[in-house]
Chain A
Amino acid sequence: MKVNEYYRPSSLEDAYHKLQEDPKNSLLAGGLWIKKMGLSVNCLIDLSTLGLNKISETKDEIIVGSMVTQRDFENSPIIKSLFNDSLAFAVREVMGVNFRNIATIGGSIMGRYTFSDVICGLLPYDVSLEFYPSQKMSLEDYLNYKGRLNAILVNIHIKKGNGKGYFKKVKTTALDFPILNVAISKVNGKYAVAVGSRPMVASLAHKAMDYLNKESKPDFNKAAELVLEELSCLDNMNASKEYRQDLTKVYVRRGLEEVSK
């Protein structure tokens, strides 16, 4: 990795100005993906000293700073108290503790990785992203946003509610990337279903969700079929399209059963 300069900004404003100075300047969170990509960067702007590593709550929502590490997220009593701890499950199987003490929630979202456990795990909840300069958008809108958003993710807002969640990562060995992710929620009586690593960035299955939320006694097998009608699976070196489709059917049904108990 080539880097000309390392910069420690004094404020978000300072970091943002530095980011705009050169298209080859890059924000640095945990730096794990930046290292993996081995990119040539002019200036790395370290976000670690801007106080973005806190988790707090209000009556209605949980606010997660973008620099909160995956490990602090999974251990947070505030996060654990929500939706039977299922949010924490979305990061608990990413590599080992010595990795998750470095990787951040913000870096995990901003990369829009096709294999992301974190994105899939957050998607079925009411999650919005707060950027600097002032801008807010839902996680789903960010995933569908065309092009690169040249802004700083400051906080992730997770709306509170009553209900349960389910998260499944299918992988071959303990430290592998996922072959498939399924995340399901039933919050305030409403279902949401997300499937990721198909291998594409996670998406909500809107057709299945409309069906589930309209019917008084929905058929979970039918819902799983609707997920596959809407969200395509592909082959890659980790798994075939057909295997991923079979896994989707099974884990969507199981997840729906789980959150409906």
Chain B
Amino acid sequence: MLVKFYLNDVEVSFDVAPNEYLAKTLRSHGIKSVKVGCNESSCGSCTLLIDGKPMMSCSILSASIEGKHITTIEGIQEEAAKIAHYFGEEGADQCGFCNVGLALTVYALKRELKNPSEEEINNYIVGNLCRCSGLQSQLKAIKAYLKEE
């Protein structure tokens, strides 16, 4: 079936199978920044934004996103560079699988929560599982990014 949606503000239409998930659709159309880690709705590496909200793209059926706005890291390049800068400064950057999903989650956090407490930040990012580089350095980087106007 044909599904039409906005990918980083550009209208696209893709032919998808009824059991096809969004991560697969995007990857098969060249959006390789969307990473599939667990494929079990658990790790969050496949996170992207649907109508501005972070969601796991390995678990959203492509057929169900008709008319919606999908944002991948390509759609927020300037902000992604800022997030990368703060993560780099704190030595908090992750591997190629985890970075993208976490960056999109942090981007959404900044837009959804005003002056979040440390606990609120932790609760917001807990769905992006790997903390190889350590939670403390990530927290510092996120706080610095949130402070930026």
Chain A interface residues (CB < 8 Å from chain B): 1-6, 8, 28, 31-32, 35-36, 44, 46, 48, 71, 92, 95-99, 101-102, 174-175
Contacts and interface: CB of A to CB of B under 8 A. Distances in A.
Contacts of A28: 61, 64
Contact of A97 (B1, B60, B66, B127): B127
Contact of B127 (A2, A3, A32, A98): A98
Given A3-B17, A97-B126, A101-B54, 14 more contacts: A6-B1, A6-B18, A31-B60, A31-B61, A35-B59, A46-B61, A97-B108, A98-B44, A98-B101, A98-B128, A99-B41, A101-B53, A102-B41, A102-B56
Nearest to A93: B123
B144 interface: no
A35 B41 CA distance: 9
B47 A98 contact: yes
A6 B61 contact: yes
Given A6-B63, A31-B59, A102-B60, A97 B18 contact: no
Interface string B36-76: 00001110100100100111100111011010000000000
B126 to A, nearest CB: 5
17 contacts: A4-B18, A35-B59, A36-B40, A36-B41, A44-B61, A46-B61, A95-B127, A97-B105, A97-B108, A97-B124, A98-B44, A98-B127, A101-B53, A101-B54, A101-B55, A175-B42, A175-B129
Contact of A46 (B59, B64, B125): B64
B18 A102 contact: no
Q: How large is the interface on B (under 10, 10 to 19, 20 to 34, 35 or more residues)?
A: 20 to 34
Nearest to B16: A6
Nearest to A49: B66
B19 interface: yes
Given A6-B63, A36-B40, A175 B56 contact: no
Given A1-B19, A101-B54, A96 B61 contact: no
Given A96-B44, A175-B127, A48 B64 contact: yes
Interface in B105-149: 105, 108, 123-129
Nearest to A99: B127
Nearest to B47: A98
Contacts of A6: 1, 18, 61, 63-64
Contacts of B18: 3-6, 44
A2 B125 CA distance: 32
Given A31-B60, A98-B44, A174 B126 contact: yes
Contacts of B41: 32, 35-36, 95, 99, 102
Contacts of A95: 41-42, 127
B64 A31 contact: yes
